[in-house]
Amino acid sequence: MTSSAPVALITGAGSGIGRSLARVLALEGHAIAAVDLSELGLRSLADELKDKPLAWAVADVTDASGLQNAVRDLESKLGPVDLLIANAGVGYETSAVNYNVDAMNKIIGVNLIGVSNSIGAVLPGMIERKRGHLVGISSIASYRGLPRMLGYCASKAGVNAIFEGLRVELAPFGIHSTIVCPGWVKTPLTENLEGPMEHLLEVEDAAREIVYAIRNKLCFYTFPGQMRWKMRLMQFWPRSWQDGMIRRLMNRVKTKKLGEKEAQG
């Protein structure tokens, strides 16, 4: 049975930011279409929100046809998707010194191609209905390339480029596009890092910031505010100054162990 509530499709909904977004949006009256690789995470989310309209599907965002089938199944249960939050992502060290092509391709595959696949699964319907809202969860790391975060920065910069183009082209169709760039957030993606991470946010606080951007249909939103202004100011510096500051900051953040900490969450 379809729901009369607006439907929010969230990828990577089983844990981290995606799970917190599901909680907040469900409380605000959205029906939640939850997608993740982890069936366990999705089942526990469904149990947590058992009094709310929610349907879930296990799907890999890098599998375009599989994701489309999952979205069609969720829409048959809840109704057409009004809001897409392309949140699924992975993040782990990709270094120039030990350049790993497989690691680069995995990160770009999930964080960029996966976002494109997510858009492709819902956009035709939104265009037909002439309404909808596309949200890409990017990162402050999209502002420039960072040492040992080559794949992550590249993937998030690509997300920004897609959504910038979407915003301009889809405006006449009544479809909104929002890019959200969080700073450091306490999720499984940051668990394998040690050292000072400035303005580290709890995941619940990050989710509230993202929902603020969604509710107000902001084009581009970076948080927390202290990091937003630092990044904007740094963009006016010569590249040599930027490189020196980034080198000092990144030398203070170390990886405890190499490897993928979270699958599409």
Peptide bond into 224 cis (omega under 30): yes
> Which residue segment(s) compose the domain that 20 sits in?
7-255
**Is 184 contained in some domain?**
yes
Give the span between the Cα atoms of 56 and 14, in whole angstroms. Answer: 10
DSSP state, residue 218: -
Residue 105, pLDDT > 80, answer yes
Q: Where are the alpha helices (DSSP H) in the chain?
A: 16-27, 39-48, 64-78, 101-108, 114-129, 150-170, 203-215, 225-234, 239-251
The per-residue pLDDT for 264 is 47
| Helix (H) and strand (E) counts in the chain | 9, 9
**Is 264 contained in some domain?**
no
Residue 161, C-beta contacts closer than 8 angstroms, at least 6 positions apart: none
**Is 126 contained in some domain?**
yes
**Which one of 143, 152, 212, 221 is the catalytic residue?**
152
Predicted confidence (pLDDT) per residue in 5-26, tens digit: 999 999 999 999 999 999 999 9
Distances (CA, A) of 29 to 55, 61, 87, 250: 14, 26, 20, 41
**Is 90 contained in some domain?**
yes
Q: Is 212 a catalytic residue?
A: no
Mean pLDDT of 124-140: 97
**Alpha-carbon dihedral angle through residues 87, 89, 93, 99, given to the nearest 10 degrees:** -120
**Is 205 contained in some domain?**
yes
Q: Residue 14: give its domain's CATH number.
A: 3.40.50.720
CB count within 10 Å of CB 202 equals 12
Mean pLDDT of 159-177: 98
Give the span between the Cα atoms of 164 and 168, in whole angstroms. Answer: 7
If one counts the domains in the chain, the total is: 1
The per-residue pLDDT for 190 is 54
Question: CA quadruple 194, 195, 198, 202: dihedral positive or negative?
Answer: positive
Mean pLDDT of 46-63: 97
**Is 209 contained in some domain?**
yes
Give the span between the Cα atoms of 106 and 112, in whole angstroms. Answer: 10
pTM: 0.87
Predicted confidence (pLDDT) per residue in 218-249, tens digit: 999 999 766 666 776 777 668 776 777 677 76
Give the span between the Cα atoms of 221 and 139, in whole angstroms. Answer: 10
**Is 82 contained in some domain?**
yes
Give the span between the Cα atoms of 159 and 157, in whole angstroms. Answer: 5
Give the span between the Cα atoms of 149 and 143, in whole angstroms. Answer: 12
**Is 106 contained in some domain?**
yes
